[in-house]
Structure 1
Amino acid sequence: MLSNKEINKAISMRDVIDSIENYYLQNKSSNEITPDRMHIDDEDNTALLMPAFYGDYYATKLVGVAPNNTKLDKPSIHGLMVLYNRKTLEPLMTFDAMPITALRTGALGGLGMKYLSDQNASSIGIIGTGTQGWSHLQSACAVRSIETVYVYNRSNKKLKEFITKAKNEYPDLTVRQAELPELIRSSDIIITTTTSKTPVLPDMDPSVWKGKQVMAVGSFKPSMQELPDSFLSAVDEFYVDAYSAFHESGDMIRAKHFGANENNTLSLEKMIKQQHRPTNISGKTLLFKSVGIGIFDLITSKEIYEKLS
């Protein structure tokens, strides 16, 4: 089984961003199968089963999400990813699912930033300093010339650890703690990475959001909502990585009350195939919501397997 360290040595965030983008730019094979993932709730915990078939491969990811692990100073995500030979169903490689999830989720966010944010964006605000907060710092730096990073987290200890790590890994960046109003006003791109059941963004005047892109990556169940109604009602253009977001995420279920639906919301696939770029970004509020589907995990694990084979 490949460990976190071995996976991150074998592949970069830039590699995963390019792999997912190329998957959509090429004519996708009709033999792809990506069913909706299975959710099994056990009180606050959730088990996720995510299979996918593509080309010569079959992959499945089994992940457990335990939000209360943060109180125990443990990661909230654990799991296994297995890549198989599609024809024989023989296992080819097993992975720690946490770095696979971090890489592909960060890459999805990176593609959202690449296609939707101002090309001159130089500042990001990260709310939540767990695994996905870090992966989105990586992806933002891969697609934009980021200079300043504002960080907010409820746990001061984890906040300080994140800032120290970021300064060590990215010595040219200015990385600083900020309260939410300052983070929002000062950031070109705002990234939410929590599993909160109540909105983490504060209610602010709609004018504050103009010219900004919000990347919401945390909520993956109907009971979770990172974004307040005051923000959702101010969004000019909605985007999703996959249309399953409309029934999986509390944010997008709620967004339907403010006019968002599959007919007027571009998916990541359509954004990439159409080479879509928003017009008049400075006058708009943009939301990209990511929930992730199994094909992205397969693409990531396939890329690693082929690099090491």
Structure 2
Amino acid sequence: MSQQETLLFINKEDVFKLGDLKRTMAKVKEAMLVLESGEYLMPERLSATYKERTVLSMPALTNTASGTKLLTVTPSNIKLGLPSIFGLMTVNDFTTGKPLAIIDGSALTSLRTGAVGGLAVDYLAPKNAKSVGIAGCGAQGFYQLIYTCCVRPIERVYLYDAYAKDLTNFIERVKKALCEYKIEEKITFVVCKDTKELISQSEIVITATTSNTPIFDNDKTLFHGKTIIGVGSYQPTCREFPDAIFGEDTAVFIELPFAKEETGDLAIPIENGLIKTEDIHLLVELDKKPELMKKTNFFKTVGMALYDIVVANDLYIVAKEKNAGQVVKL
């Protein structure tokens, strides 16, 4: 009789328990370096949108791992008190293709996207930066803030959310998470009346919204000297940032070349001649060329399947080491 095949199910709680912040950022950087090396296969993500509901399929293979993430994105869920993103990640044995694990995709996305933002902050923000503004206080905004507090001595946090004016619960969850991650900074939280107040007060600005149109005024002075991380709106027709963010004093960074086409925050300004494609650089280029940074530094992430498979494969390894997760029979 053949042996019963099994796989490991890693739920949301296990993802966050196993996902060490600094280790996850290291894995995100590893994925960026894999991209730079060319030793991978990552087809363009399949994105299907119908009546403002999107399904995304993102497979990837490296020399050591393979897998696929399936996500649904429904912005209107916010009005129902539900997450805008649901998903699952499969991890397969690279040699045989055998399913090894199924991982909560929403938790994985929050964890690795937070790590991408944290890594970008670590590259771009002044070492003594003490203030951060978060526009969009959902799951993505939550982990962007946690990772930022991991890499910088944050003392003041400015918050804005277009849908939720009472952010008491968000703030309490952040405080609890910071304690759990042993980040013991004394932080003051300020809920802003609008994004102008938020960006004016913050050294680091992180956007994690589903907005189709810019959320900031088209005023160059708002962006001057800031470290700006764009995490939200990723489709070619959607923008979180106005034209004013671009200029001679602004350096623009991405994680993969396709971002220039995929996000309206870059595709539209490129089409309008506000920025040249050759002036947009990969974040990891800063390892060899730190002089690429300018007074204002803007990193736009659209995500990529390499993040998912590298981080998910590592979560699977850690879960096996710690006997975490639930064994499921196939």
TM over 0.5: yes
Equivalent residue of 2:107, what SS?
helix
Shift, 1:261, TM fit: 3.9
Structure 1 unaligned regions, length at least 5: none
Equivalent residue of 2:121, what SS?
helix
| 1:116–1:277 contact (8 Å) kept in structure 2 | no
One-letter amino acid of the structure 1 residue matched with residue 241 of structure 2: L
Q: How does 1:195-210 map to 2 (within 5 A)?
A: 195-204=210-219, 206-210=220-224
Of stretches 256-265 and 30-39 in structure 1, the one that deviates more from structure 2 is 256-265
Shift, 1:207, TM fit: 2.7
Aligned to 2:303: 292
Equivalent residue of 1:156, what SS?
coil
| 1:36–1:293 contact (8 Å) kept in structure 2 | no
Q: CA separation in 1, counterparts of 2:109 and 2:35?
A: 25
Of stretches 144-153 and 207-216 in structure 1, the one that deviates more from structure 2 is 207-216
Shift, 1:186, TM fit: 1.0
Of 9, 14, 22, the match for 2:22: 14
Aligned to 1:133: 141
Shift, 1:230, TM fit: 2.5
Equivalent residue of 1:129, what SS?
coil
**Pair 90,213 (structure 1): closer, same or farther in 2 beyond 3 Å:** same
Shift, 1:259, TM fit: 4.0
| 2:135–2:160 contact (8 Å) kept in structure 1 | yes
**Pair 261,193 (structure 1): closer, same or farther in 2 beyond 3 Å:** same
Shift, 1:270, TM fit: 2.4
Q: CA separation in 2, counterparts of 1:52 and 1:27?
A: 11
Identity of paired residues, percent?
Answer: 32
Shift, 1:236, TM fit: 1.6
Q: CA separation in 2, counterparts of 1:147 and 1:71?
A: 31
Aligned to 2:264: 250
**Pair 89,3 (structure 1): closer, same or farther in 2 beyond 3 Å:** same
Aligned to 1:61: 69
Aligned to 2:243: 229
Larger Rg: 2
Q: How does 1:105-184 map to 2 (within 5 A)?
A: 105-156=113-164, 159-170=167-178, 172-179=186-193, 180-184=195-199
Q: How does 1:92-103 map to 2 (within 5 A)?
A: 92-103=100-111
Shift, 1:211, TM fit: 1.4
**Pair 90,261 (structure 1): closer, same or farther in 2 beyond 3 Å:** farther
One-letter amino acid of the structure 2 residue matched with residue 110 of structure 1: G
Equivalent residue of 1:98, what SS?
helix
| 1:166–1:175 contact (8 Å) kept in structure 2 | no
| 1:222–1:247 contact (8 Å) kept in structure 2 | yes
Aligned to 2:204: 189
Q: CA separation in 2, counterparts of 1:277 and 1:39?
A: 36
Q: CA separation in 2, counterparts of 1:150 and 1:35?
A: 38
Shift, 1:113, TM fit: 0.8
| 2:196–2:222 contact (8 Å) kept in structure 1 | no
Shift, 1:56, TM fit: 2.6
Aligned to 1:86: 94
Deviations 1:7-47 (A, max 9, x none): 11111222110122245568976541112211111120111
One-letter amino acid of the structure 1 residue matched with residue 285 of structure 2: K
Q: CA separation in 2, counterparts of 1:234 and 1:72?
A: 43
Q: CA separation in 1, counterparts of 2:92 and 2:276?
A: 35
Count of paired positions: 304
**TM-score (structure 2 length as normaliser):** 0.86
Measured on the aligned residues, the alpha-carbon RMSD in Å equals 2.1
Structure 2 unaligned regions, length at least 5: 1-8, 179-183, 321-330
Deviations 1:70-97 (A, max 9, x none): 0110000001100001211110010010
One-letter amino acid of the structure 2 residue matched with residue 127 of structure 1: A
Q: CA separation in 1, counterparts of 2:31 and 2:259?
A: 20
Deviations 1:277-301 (A, max 9, x none): 655x5xx222110001100001110
Q: Does 1:34 align with 2:49?
A: no
Of stretches 117-126 and 24-33 in structure 1, the one that deviates more from structure 2 is 24-33
Q: CA separation in 2, counterparts of 1:27 and 1:35?
A: 12
One-letter amino acid of the structure 1 residue matched with residue 275 of structure 2: A
